[in-house]
Structure 1
Amino acid sequence: MFASRRALKLVAKKYPSVTTNGKRSISLLVNSNGLNEEQRMIQEAAMSFSETLLMPNAAEWDEKKHFPKDVIKEAADYGFAGIYVKEDVGGVNLGRKEASLIFEALSTGCVGTSAYISIHNMCAWMIDVYGNEDQRQKYLPSMTTFDLFGSYCLTEPNSGSDAIAMKSTAEDKGDYFLLNGEKAFISGAGDSDVFLVMAKTGEKEISCLIVDGDTEGLKFGKNETKMGWNVQPTRAVIFEDCKIPKENLLGSRGQGFKIAMSGLDGGRVNIASCSLGGAAFCLDTATEYIKTRKQFGKPLANFQYLQFKLAQMATDLEASRLMVRNAADMIDQNNEEKTMYCAMAKYFATEKCMDLVDYALQMHGGYGYLREYPIERYYRDLRVHRILEGTSEVMQLITSRNLLKD
């Protein structure tokens, strides 16, 4: 076990796990079946952080649209800023299954915060894997401590799922690239320090550039008013004649689309994991609610229809969890079919978890619709998971094309 992993055991004790009458507050989240000792320890560390720092504050952050950078920085003490980044630059070099456990646990407390941390980790991983040594040493020691926050810039106003249709250009000017264009729906924009930007360096050539947050000509749109994910800013990122040094080209010229797509395999598993955590919280909450809420003189839990529905919700959650963890394993094994399995897991988990949260709200009746109950916030936060990192429809297309190819 590496030194940085041993440190995780120590920080796991930093915040004691919240319990109720000796029972975990999120009893239906903690499925440790098939996990080794290290994975269980990582899961416990993430749950402790979530229960102590995220869960008590998430409602206020959501209401005030507060981006909790101070709390996110504390996540770096756990290694959550460089989960699958190599240790020589400050990462903890864990696998994708371990990352899935972390994001699932963090999302029981605050889905939007967990999702941003997952995006930051995707950016750090891209630099670690595709960057040269100068780039790795320049950015990653600060990214793995959250002294630098990262954002991923692929989507544009007129090209979401159709990334090839992007309009952003990076014209070769000899010593630098002249970057022009606009990216849409960028998480962390306005607060991030490092942007990984996909742009055309030729008519049919996409490259990836590392853009520093203080680059002249870099501008931001308004903070979007969103249905959910209010704890993280979402803005357009605008590039007006930005001079990007040649040494900020990530990977080789023309490799941008490959870099973007390779990051999305893990990104889809991460977002699916965030759905698992949010759904687990809602299932646990709904279970406790129907045990105590009485109608017609008896607890709602005594009604057989709700018993059947609860069983279906728990089954869907566990099936989703198994698919997500299997897809994570396939990434770690570099299985040639990993992209299809990541797409299937993302599609199934985000759809089933959204259905679960919807019915958990239904079980609460009118109370579930009120802001003072947390269910509606999880509903709003999970809804976007069926859209970002590839819509549910695109996930089905990826799966079917892989099945039909010769």
Structure 2
Amino acid sequence: MSEDQSFDRIRAQVEEWVKGPGERWAEHIEEDGEVPEALWEEMNRLGFLRMAAPPKYGGQGLPFSRWMELMEIFSRSHGSIRMIVHVVNGIWRAMDGHASAQQRERFVLPSVTGEIKIAFTLTEPGNGTGADLTTSVVREGDTYYLSGRKHLITFGVRCDYYLLAARVEGSSGHGGTVALLVPRNAPGAQVKDTSHTMGVTGTDHASLAFDRTPVPVGHRLGAEGEGLDIFLGGFLTPSRISVAMSCVGLAERAQQLALEYARSRVTFGKTLTQRQAIQFMLAENAADIEAARQLVLHAARRFEEGADDASMQSSMAKMHAVTMLTNVTDKALQIHGGLGYWKSQKIERVYRDARAQRFEEGTNEVQKQVVFRALLRRTRPPAAPEPN
């Protein structure tokens, strides 16, 4: 079987699952307000949580751009289903580049195979998400003692470990930052479930507090001073591309629902698809979705190639795709009229889920800053020649 045939088989499997079992899981999540462990187990059994990891790690070894094609399909499903496959298929990458052989065996491989869950733990309540983090550690012998707070931590309630960014007490900027794997039940760790969100129902989120929580130095990835490199370099660029493709998939779902409704809804003897205003909305949506898809795939290929503009491309893709999703879902809801406001309509859930992606991996204002800084570097005038 060729690589293309193998991928087509996987793609067909994902499409069938999303339309069938995935939709039934979505209804269950909306009814109960939580994601059952059985869903995680099913997706893991089907191989959905290790598609991007190398075969030697137990993954399927899909190239990143191919994985993004599947991410597009998963994103047509429930927001929590999309969140699970997005995070689990990416967090191994953040750890792998800085993990020792022992750490790879203990943390990276089990996270790929589904034996453990690891939560990406960067955001803090009192500052931005970067070099101004204040959660700190003090080293005493072979142990770090961790103190501080984190919030908005996805899977922070059900995880086994936190991949957590902190800094050595007294350091500033990027220097002194560390990436630690903190056990979920470590002494001095307090976890508060904060899962009641507008959309993406069922994805657990947590606020965390640490009071001299002991963490073995052997749980540190990389060296002191490399913490933010692991979080921002190893995870953020591909994750922004993945979130951008999630926007494409969810927009497709909104467009599908709007088109189906417009075909069936009759007013004054005509279906909505016979009315020019609706035709134009749907045509604009189709063009906007396709433009975003191509920009995201371009960013994915640049990341695959290790291009120096991959970070800029990822922010451009995320910025554009989020704006597109906002416009598409707004028109899709408008096409449904007042009925779209009711929870009995799938577009209502899609509309709520879409809002979350405006904040994942940085707002559009953050993406614009990233793009602008990259533009300045790329267009910097050449240095004046030294005088003779």
Give the structure-1-normalised TM-score.
Answer: 0.88
Q: Which residue of 2 aligns with 1:274?
A: 246
Secondary structure of residue in 2 paired with 1:210: strand
Distance across 1 between alignment mates of 2:188 and 2:21: 37
Amino acid at match of 1:155: T
Amino acid at match of 1:226: T
Deviations 1:31-84 (A, max 9, x none): xxxxx4444333222222222222122133134221232112222233332333
Q: What is the CA distance between 1:195 and its match in structure 2?
A: 1.2
Evaluate the alpha carbon distance shift between residue 315 and residue 404 of structure 1 in structure 2; reply closer, same or farther with a 3 A threshold: same
Quick check: 1:208–1:259 contact (8 Å CA) kept in 2? yes
Q: Which residue of 2 aligns with 1:352?
A: 324
Within the alignment, does 1:179 sit opposite 2:146 as a pair?
Answer: yes
Distance across 1 between alignment mates of 2:52 and 2:103: 17
Within the alignment, does 1:168 sit opposite 2:135 as a pair?
Answer: yes
Quick check: 1:176–1:246 contact (8 Å CA) kept in 2? yes
The worse-fitting range, judged by mean Cα deviation, of 127-136 and 390-399 is 127-136
Evaluate the alpha carbon distance shift between residue 276 and residue 69 of structure 1 in structure 2; reply closer, same or farther with a 3 A threshold: farther
Within the alignment, does 1:102 sit opposite 2:70 as a pair?
Answer: yes
Q: What is the CA distance between 1:309 and its match in structure 2?
A: 1.1
Secondary structure of residue in 2 paired with 1:56: helix
1:5-16 alignment runs, 5 A limit: none
Aligned equivalent of 1:242, options 202, 205, 213: 213
Identity %: 27
Within the alignment, does 1:400 sit opposite 2:372 as a pair?
Answer: yes
Evaluate the alpha carbon distance shift between residue 159 and residue 62 of structure 1 in structure 2; reply closer, same or farther with a 3 A threshold: farther
Distance across 2 between alignment mates of 1:240 and 1:122: 29
Secondary structure of residue in 2 paired with 1:83: coil
Aligned equivalent of 2:30, options 33, 57, 62: 62
Quick check: 1:116–1:187 contact (8 Å CA) kept in 2? no
Quick check: 2:79–2:201 contact (8 Å CA) kept in 1? no
Amino acid at match of 2:274: N
Q: What is the CA distance between 1:167 and its match in structure 2?
A: 1.1
Quick check: 2:165–2:177 contact (8 Å CA) kept in 1? yes
Within the alignment, does 1:390 sit opposite 2:362 as a pair?
Answer: yes
Q: Which residue of 2 aligns with 1:379?
A: 351
1:241-320 alignment runs, 5 A limit: 241-262=212-233, 263-320=235-292
Evaluate the alpha carbon distance shift between residue 58 and residue 335 of structure 1 in structure 2; reply closer, same or farther with a 3 A threshold: same
Evaluate the alpha carbon distance shift between residue 374 and residue 291 of structure 1 in structure 2; reply closer, same or farther with a 3 A threshold: same
Q: Which residue of 2 aligns with 1:211?
A: 182
Q: What is the CA distance between 1:392 and its match in structure 2?
A: 0.7
Distance across 2 between alignment mates of 1:275 and 1:126: 22
Amino acid at match of 2:141: G
Q: What is the CA distance between 1:156 and its match in structure 2?
A: 0.3
Evaluate the alpha carbon distance shift between residue 343 and residue 39 of structure 1 in structure 2; reply closer, same or farther with a 3 A threshold: farther
Aligned equivalent of 1:48, options 5, 16, 22: 16
Q: Which residue of 1 aligns with 2:163?
A: 196
Within the alignment, does 1:137 sit opposite 2:105 as a pair?
Answer: yes
Distance across 2 between alignment mates of 1:271 and 1:212: 27
Aligned equivalent of 1:127, options 95, 99, 115: 95
Give the structure-2-normalised TM-score.
Answer: 0.92
Distance across 1 between alignment mates of 2:31 and 2:246: 20
- Structure 2 gaps of 5+ residues are 381-388
Secondary structure of residue in 2 paired with 1:183: strand
Distance across 2 between alignment mates of 1:48 and 1:251: 41
Secondary structure of residue in 2 paired with 1:57: helix
Quick check: 1:76–1:144 contact (8 Å CA) kept in 2? no
Aligned equivalent of 2:49, options 32, 57, 81: 81
Deviations 1:275-313 (A, max 9, x none): 211111110111111111001111010011111111100
The worse-fitting range, judged by mean Cα deviation, of 119-128 and 390-399 is 119-128
Amino acid at match of 2:76: T
Quick check: 2:193–2:204 contact (8 Å CA) kept in 1? no
Quick check: 2:195–2:203 contact (8 Å CA) kept in 1? no
- Structure 1 gaps of 5+ residues are 6-35
Secondary structure of residue in 1 paired with 2:357: helix
Q: Which residue of 2 aligns with 1:332?
A: 304
Amino acid at match of 2:272: L
Amino acid at match of 2:275: F
Deviations 1:124-169 (A, max 9, x none): 22222221111111123322232211210011002234x2111100
Distance across 2 between alignment mates of 1:238 and 1:274: 31
Evaluate the alpha carbon distance shift between residue 42 and residue 269 of structure 1 in structure 2; reply closer, same or farther with a 3 A threshold: farther
Q: Which residue of 2 aligns with 1:16?
A: none
Distance across 2 between alignment mates of 1:176 and 1:83: 35
